[in-house]
Structure 1
Amino acid sequence: CLGKLDECELYPETFEIVHNYNDQEVYLFVSPQVLSYSNLDEEQVYHSSLSQHNGLINSFDMYVSEYQDQDSIVSLNNKTTLGLPYGYLKTDFNANNSDNGSELYEAAYHLDIDSYSLKAGHFEFEPEVNSTDFLNNTARVAQNSLTVGTSKKLLVGGHNNDKVLSFYVPTSGGVQVFRDGRLIYQDNVPEGQNSIPYSKLPSGRYEVVLEVTSGGQVINTQTYQVYNTKSDSLTQGEVDFVATAGMFSGSHYDYTEHGIQNIEDDVYGKALANYQLTRSLQVGLGGLVTDSGTMYTVGGAYNLIDWDLSTEAVYSQFEDASHFNANIGIPYLSLSYESLDNELGDPVASYMYGYADYSRLSLNSSYSFRGGQSMYAVYSLNNDKQLDNLSNSDEQEQQFISVGYSTPTVLDSRVNINVDYSEETDDISVNLLWSVPLSDTVETIVGLTSDSDDINQFKTTVRRNQL
């Protein structure tokens, strides 16, 4: 107690429980230090935007092919990054001699300042900024734009260094953190409030047990759930936002053939926000506005560590169309579903997804056995409406099943067996591959393909790496 006996105030180092047997009551007294615990490091420090040493990074790959009775194909993919005193320039393009022609994916200026990011230039796809990215869904939006959003790229200590495990130590001692019984972190700690940044823990989503020791004895044990992946950039109660202004720049889809209004070169504005409601749940919303239409988006992402479950769902409403996408993942199994209702030919929806009306379901499963054996199975169901200018539609359903098995065998070789079934052709295809290494850099591959009627392909390949 502190003070006079008749005015005694309990001030425990952590907490104390007092029983009042006369009134049959229990009192809990908690230290102010414990009540001030936080899983967010409020003293966030960011690196300076100024870069003293800049350079040029270029990477490319080239593909050349030629087959009998066919034109040869030459394709070059190139990515270049040029560092500047503030920010950097980035280009990404493909050059080829095919009928589809070359394509510029990105030519933009990027700048990070403290907790914000700026991107300006041409983007064939939505630029990646922060945790709001999942709200962009599967849309392909070619654009010339200026984007500003929250960012933690310059955070001192690296990704998730602002997220911490907070704990209190009554006397100086040590701390150990265990993941499934394995020691992943240990250190000496002084008395008082302490914290361990996520940047010092392995990436992933998992549960840990934290033990505080003093004099060789465990004096405190706590359990935490750790969310430490690239998509887990927010702590509970935090918000990410993105604001974009720009012009549409060439749709990937030929929607104007169907008499739908052309909105290329239209000016648009877009805003997205994502809120970390709980440690497991994110909720986001956003909108896009042009002279030709609007789009409103709402989505959520939920992760459950106990089941190793991750889910994500996004719904977008246009003036005359809607789009929905959902993904569910658990160990060895993933399920995805996407639907587009655009029978009326909404201009904004057609620019992003094409003039189409469909639903697509996909189920994927894989498992690895001991000894290097593995197997997988894939099932997909597609329902597509063939639309025309007269608003007529012809619905088609297609199912596809694929099962595969891989195993090591003699001479350090590997055998792969795959069986495919397509409802569209009502055909079963069997593929057999045998890969035999001849040296560290050379291997030979024997392949056999057959359908329901006969063997239709036999191929032998010799491959050399590290030329």
Structure 2
Amino acid sequence: MRYNRLALSILFCLSSSLNPLFSLPANASVKSEGIEIPAEFADMYAGSTEHFTFELASATEQVSIELNSTPTSASLNAASLGRVEQYLSRYYVKKESIVEIVSAMKNIATSSLCQGKVSECNLMPERYAFTYDFEQKHLTLFINVGLIDSHKTAKSFHDATNEQYGAINSINVNYHYFSDGGSSLIARDETLVGLKYGSITSSIYADTSSDKFEAEQLSYDFESGNRRFQIGHFKYGYEQNSTSFMDLSGGYSQDVINYSSSKNLIDGGKQNNRRLFYILPNKGRIEVYRDGHLIHSQNVDAGQQSIAFRDLPYGSYTATIVVVSSGREILRERQQIFNNSAFSLNKGEYDYSFSAGILNDRYDDIEDTLDGQSREFRALQEKLGYRVDADTFIDDGNYNYVEELAFDHYFERYSQARSLELDSNNFVEGKAAYQLTDSIMFGGRVLSNSDSTMAEVGFKQSINDVSTAQLKYASYSNGSQFIAADANFYNVGVGYEKFDSADSDYGLDNYMLSNTGYERLNVNVSSNILGGQGYLLYVNNKVDADNAPGKFVDQSDYWSVSAGYSHSFIADSIINFSATFQGGDSFGMNDDWYAGVQWTVPLSANWSASSSVSISPQGLDEFRNSVANDVQFGDSLSMNNELGITYNGTGIDQNMNSDLSSNISYNDEHIMSDTYAYISSDGTSSVSTSLSSTQVLSGKGEFYFTSQKSDSYIIVDADNKNSLDTHRGLLSIYNDNTLSYNQNIDREDTVIPVDKYKAFNVRLDTDSSNYISDEAHEAVGYSLPGTVISLDINLVKIKTFISSFDDVNNKAISHVECSGEGCVDVEKIEEGVFKISVIAGSDYQLISQNQTCVTPSLDRDSTYIVNTGNNYCLPGLDNDEALTLVRDNKLEPVIIDGNEYYFVGVFTNETDLMNTGRTLSDVGLTVITRIVGQRKYIYATNESSLTAKQETVLNELSLYAKSLIKQDNFASNWN
């Protein structure tokens, strides 16, 4: 019976920490399980009220509750019911789920999902599950995320106070020259000034060809928590939240005050990875314009090329794509760009935006036109001989009597310019977006000025990671309507817009969309076909000019189909096919088409040959052969030169030309530049070049240059006092504990662009370098716009060397210590051999049992670990008292291993050394010499007591030894 009780008690003990096979519900009798409970354990299964710690798995807090417990099961005591409900509410468990969980706690047992030790179980239940640890008095609740109310989940917003603010200025300069079209210089300067609270942004644009100099943006932006405030001038609109998908086609200039919701301080959003594909017959350049302003340019090779949407400015707008090759423009087309925030909301969340301001005149040339017309009007006044008001003059019809044919055109243009202006420019706007499901968003928008009102609704859906669709409909109070649909399914993109203009009066609808009705369809397809890459572009733009408010129409009536295909060919070559068919009223009476094929063959690692042919309705349009060479000059400069011969024209107009083109790219840590130059034997020449650089001013007033543009930067200033040893260490940057940058740095200033609205930790590990620093090796910060996170560290050069040490008796030294401000580390490699690190140029002293360990002098500028060979730890070098002195009229030797040694001195002069050795030998003393580098250390020893003459000689030499040590400080062992 004793053994049965022991076995049963072991079983009960195991049941408290393991998921038992014989677990008993609270209301089950032992008899029903076929086990007879001994009287000693009856009380345990009768149940008792005990205190347990209760926790929601992964929660940061626990709560103490009372359970009516047995070793295998329990039930919640009524006294703790309210405490459990409050605890679960704090972690945003849904109310109905709390009721369900509390009800289940009437019969608590460890879930069958838990296998093994209860305390080590981590469960992922479909709804909820418990682990019950009777022995540790602990109850854990595991729940599915679906039981959490995501609307109420606490969001941790980063502090909007910017303690690491700075100033960032980016400049981009483009120069264009065409032999038949003059030259132009285009410059854009963008400045972002970080403030403690918010930031200021400006953008200045200048173009010499059109005499433009204007401010595209000047604004103040501040975010705090989930709110954002913006005020300023925006020529092309401004970045907002998810409501931006409601923006209609194109942008418009405005001076505005905006208050909106924001999720930026939680998540920085996502980049758009859509691309536009093109095939170029030759090397050239792709440029992207928005309202005539250059916004992106890049040199490209021949063949299939693309533009990533993430490289384009933020927003929804129509862009003009221009492709230049062989010194001429070979393609110009308009593409609708959708590049804004999408699906940054959780299910059931919403964004809002409220704005009020002034709508600026839409057409850039109106003011210039009026200026020109004013000059004409002044000339008219001079001809008439008196001053006249233009409006009165027109209204009275007097101009018909004064050289009416000469002035009809002027007054028509004057009236035309005035007709393309709003009667009222003030406006108010409200927008909202609601995330209905994880993939479906609805939006609404109302914009009104004193003359007209626009109401808009929108729908957006994400089908999967690479497929989205959106639909927008807008209605104006004058009866005009606008509808837009955009869909992307894997590699297929379709865009459709239609604007029905209700009347010929220029109003809010014309200002926001176009001064004429239009209908536009875009189709963009790219795919891998038979091992190659193909694309198809279709654009159809129709103009309804019946209700245009004047003769100026800002739309074109045309259609275009472009297709291309690239595939690998023999000998690692690439063959490209392309064709374009265009037509419409903008092309006159006849449609136009052209097609081409290009074959590029690599000749070597840096040389290639290319042959191409293109045809048009006139026949063979161009046949070209060329050879190209790639050259790399260091890490920063690369060049591609191409020499070609081209046969052009059909029929009578035929010619053959040779040409030379060059693509030059330069990119270092300070600037980025590229140049495309072309010259032909027919006299045609062109040059297009761009130069960009960003200047960063930290909060400490330090100025840095970088070729990489960003809204936030991390700057590491590792000052090594101009040492020739450039390697500073391993720089690591962590973004929310995820490694995002890991590079060895070899220059003093390292400027790293980082994404905004992210938390960063910067660390410089100098273990791999020859430097140390007693300053902080780490900096943390959060990258708000205009943030410059700085890690400034003064590096101290470390000299590491390896040495073996013997004592004066040539026995290996077992232990070495370092003393002094220059000491860093002493590591014993093996018996008598040590690896020693000291600060270059600083005083240090190596000691072993009151003996000074000496090595050859060290070179403070060398970068490698030096093996100094076998050296010595010698007595009598550390201070004056260790020298041979007369004490109480007796010489006191240094005793090592029972032998008496008298230190005589250290010598670098051979004559002095020989004379001293002869003097000691003459009086019968044994001379011991230990050589370390250029120094020779002399000791005298004698097997018997010293004679009077020996003492006299040693006393005389001891004074000389003292002077030598004072001149040669062993603690400053540097060249």
Is the TM value for this pair above 0.5? Answer: yes
- Report the CA distance between 1:60 and its aligned residue: 1.9
Cα distance in 2, alignment partners of residues 304 and 145 from structure 1:
35
Amino acid aligned to 2:591: D
> What whole-Å deviation, never above 9, does each CA across 1:5-36 have from its counterpart, x for those lacking one?
8x9955677899xxxxxxxxxxx996694463
Distance verdict in 2 for CA 1:233–1:382, change over 3 Å: same
- Report the CA distance between 1:369 and its aligned residue: 6.1
> What whole-Å deviation, never above 9, does each CA across 1:190-246 have from its counterpart, x for those lacking one?
xxxxxxxxxxxxxxxxxxxxxxxxxxxxxxxxxxxxxxx952210111010000011
Cα distance in 2, alignment partners of residues 259 and 15 from structure 1:
80
- Report the CA distance between 1:331 and its aligned residue: 1.3
Q: SS where residue 212 of structure 2 aligns?
A: coil
Q: Is the 8 A contact 1:62 1:75 kept in 2?
A: yes
> What whole-Å deviation, never above 9, does each CA across 1:349-401 have from its counterpart, x for those lacking one?
11112211110001111124697x42211111121123467899999953211
Partner residue of 2:595 out of 421, 424, 430: 430
Q: Is the 8 A contact 1:276 1:283 kept in 2?
A: yes
Which residue of 2 is the match for residue 439 of structure 1?
Answer: 631
Q: SS where residue 465 of structure 1 aligns?
A: strand
Question: Is 1:313 the equivalent of 2:471?
Answer: yes
Cα distance in 1, alignment partners of residues 569 and 582 from structure 2:
30
Which residue of 2 is the match for residue 226 of structure 1?
Answer: none
Q: SS where residue 257 of structure 1 aligns?
A: helix
Partner residue of 1:358 out of 514, 518, 523: 518
Cα distance in 1, alignment partners of residues 213 and 578 from structure 2:
34
Cα distance in 2, alignment partners of residues 272 and 429 from structure 1:
46
Q: Is the 8 A contact 1:319 1:346 kept in 2?
A: no
Which residue of 1 is the match for residue 677 of structure 2?
Answer: none
Cα distance in 2, alignment partners of residues 451 and 61 from structure 1:
38
5+ residue gaps in structure 2? 1-23, 29-74, 76-103, 114-125, 130-140, 271-339, 367-414, 599-609, 611-626, 633-637, 667-672, 674-975
Partner residue of 1:463 out of 647, 653, 663: 663
Which residue of 1 is the match for residue 327 of structure 2?
Answer: none
Which residue of 1 is the match for residue 755 of structure 2?
Answer: none
Q: Is the 8 A contact 2:254 2:357 kept in 1?
A: yes
Distance verdict in 2 for CA 1:389–1:249, change over 3 Å: closer
Cα distance in 1, alignment partners of residues 451 and 442 from structure 2:
28
Amino acid aligned to 1:351: Y
Cα distance in 1, alignment partners of residues 192 and 498 from structure 2:
37
Question: Is 1:108 the equivalent of 2:226?
Answer: no
Q: Is the 8 A contact 1:147 1:242 kept in 2?
A: yes
Q: SS where residue 72 of structure 1 aligns?
A: strand
Question: Is 1:399 the equivalent of 2:559?
Answer: yes
Distance verdict in 2 for CA 1:122–1:12, change over 3 Å: farther
Q: Is the 8 A contact 1:430 1:451 kept in 2?
A: no
Partner residue of 2:233 out of 113, 122, 126: 122
Amino acid aligned to 1:286: R
Q: Is the 8 A contact 2:428 2:447 kept in 1?
A: yes
> What whole-Å deviation, never above 9, does each CA across 1:86-126 have from its counterpart, x for those lacking one?
11111123201123723432111111111111110001122
Cα distance in 2, alignment partners of residues 245 and 76 from structure 1:
31
Distance verdict in 2 for CA 1:464–1:390, change over 3 Å: closer
Cα distance in 2, alignment partners of residues 76 and 393 from structure 1:
29
Cα distance in 2, alignment partners of residues 319 and 2 from structure 1:
71
Distance verdict in 2 for CA 1:29–1:254, change over 3 Å: closer
Amino acid aligned to 1:359: E
Amino acid aligned to 1:267: N
Question: Is 1:88 the equivalent of 2:199?
Answer: yes
Partner residue of 1:378 out of 537, 542, 547: 537
Which residue of 1 is the match for residue 487 of structure 2?
Answer: 328
TM-score calculated relative to the size of structure 2: 0.36
Amino acid aligned to 1:75: I
Q: SS where residue 443 of structure 1 aligns?
A: strand
Say which is worse superposed, 139-148 or 389-398, in terms of deviation: 389-398
Distance verdict in 2 for CA 1:244–1:277, change over 3 Å: same
- Report the CA distance between 1:133 and its aligned residue: 0.3
Distance verdict in 2 for CA 1:48–1:318, change over 3 Å: same
- Report the CA distance between 1:283 and its aligned residue: 0.4
Q: How does 1:187-198 map to 2 (within 5 A)?
A: none
Which residue of 2 is the match for residue 166 of structure 1?
Answer: none
Taking only the aligned residue pairs, the percentage that are identical comes to: 20
Q: SS where residue 145 of structure 1 aligns?
A: strand
Partner residue of 1:284 out of 433, 438, 443: 443
Amino acid aligned to 1:93: I
Larger strand proportion of the pair: 1
Distance verdict in 2 for CA 1:46–1:3, change over 3 Å: same
Cα distance in 2, alignment partners of residues 437 and 88 from structure 1:
47
Amino acid aligned to 2:450: D
Amino acid aligned to 2:148: Y
Distance verdict in 2 for CA 1:101–1:390, change over 3 Å: closer
Cα distance in 1, alignment partners of residues 549 and 162 from structure 2:
58
Say which is worse superposed, 69-78 or 279-288, in terms of deviation: 69-78
Amino acid aligned to 2:544: K
| RMSD, aligned α-carbons | 3.9
Q: Is the 8 A contact 1:286 1:297 kept in 2?
A: yes
Question: Is 1:99 the equivalent of 2:210?
Answer: yes
Q: Is the 8 A contact 1:431 1:450 kept in 2?
A: no
Cα distance in 2, alignment partners of residues 314 and 128 from structure 1:
19
Say which is worse superposed, 232-241 or 49-58, in terms of deviation: 49-58
- Report the CA distance between 1:251 and its aligned residue: 1.1
Which residue of 2 is the match for residue 19 of structure 1?
Answer: none
Cα distance in 2, alignment partners of residues 420 and 460 from structure 1:
26
Q: Is the 8 A contact 1:90 1:106 kept in 2?
A: yes
Distance verdict in 2 for CA 1:390–1:73, change over 3 Å: closer
Which residue of 2 is the match for residue 223 of structure 1?
Answer: none
Distance verdict in 2 for CA 1:41–1:98, change over 3 Å: farther
Distance verdict in 2 for CA 1:388–1:50, change over 3 Å: same
Q: SS where residue 106 of structure 1 aligns?
A: strand
Distance verdict in 2 for CA 1:241–1:342, change over 3 Å: same
- Report the CA distance between 1:127 and its aligned residue: 1.1
Q: Is the 8 A contact 1:428 1:452 kept in 2?
A: no
Partner residue of 1:304 out of 459, 463, 469: 463
Which residue of 2 is the match for residue 154 of structure 1?
Answer: 265
Larger helix proportion of the pair: 2
Q: Is the 8 A contact 2:350 2:433 kept in 1?
A: yes
Distance verdict in 2 for CA 1:12–1:85, change over 3 Å: same
Q: SS where residue 344 of structure 2 aligns?
A: coil
5+ residue gaps in structure 1? 17-27, 161-228
Amino acid aligned to 2:533: S
- Report the CA distance between 1:266 and its aligned residue: 1.9
Q: SS where residue 104 of structure 1 aligns?
A: strand
Cα distance in 1, alignment partners of residues 189 and 241 from structure 2:
25
Which residue of 2 is the match for residue 341 of structure 1?
Answer: 500
Which residue of 2 is the match for residue 37 of structure 1?
Answer: 148
Cα distance in 2, alignment partners of residues 12 and 362 from structure 1:
62
Cα distance in 1, alignment partners of residues 254 and 647 from structure 2:
43
Cα distance in 1, alignment partners of residues 596 and 660 from structure 2:
13
Q: Is the 8 A contact 1:254 1:354 kept in 2?
A: no
Q: SS where residue 244 of structure 2 aligns?
A: helix
Which residue of 1 is the match for residue 165 of structure 2?
Answer: 54
Q: Is the 8 A contact 1:58 1:81 kept in 2?
A: yes
- Report the CA distance between 1:323 and its aligned residue: 1.3
Q: SS where residue 545 of structure 2 aligns?
A: strand
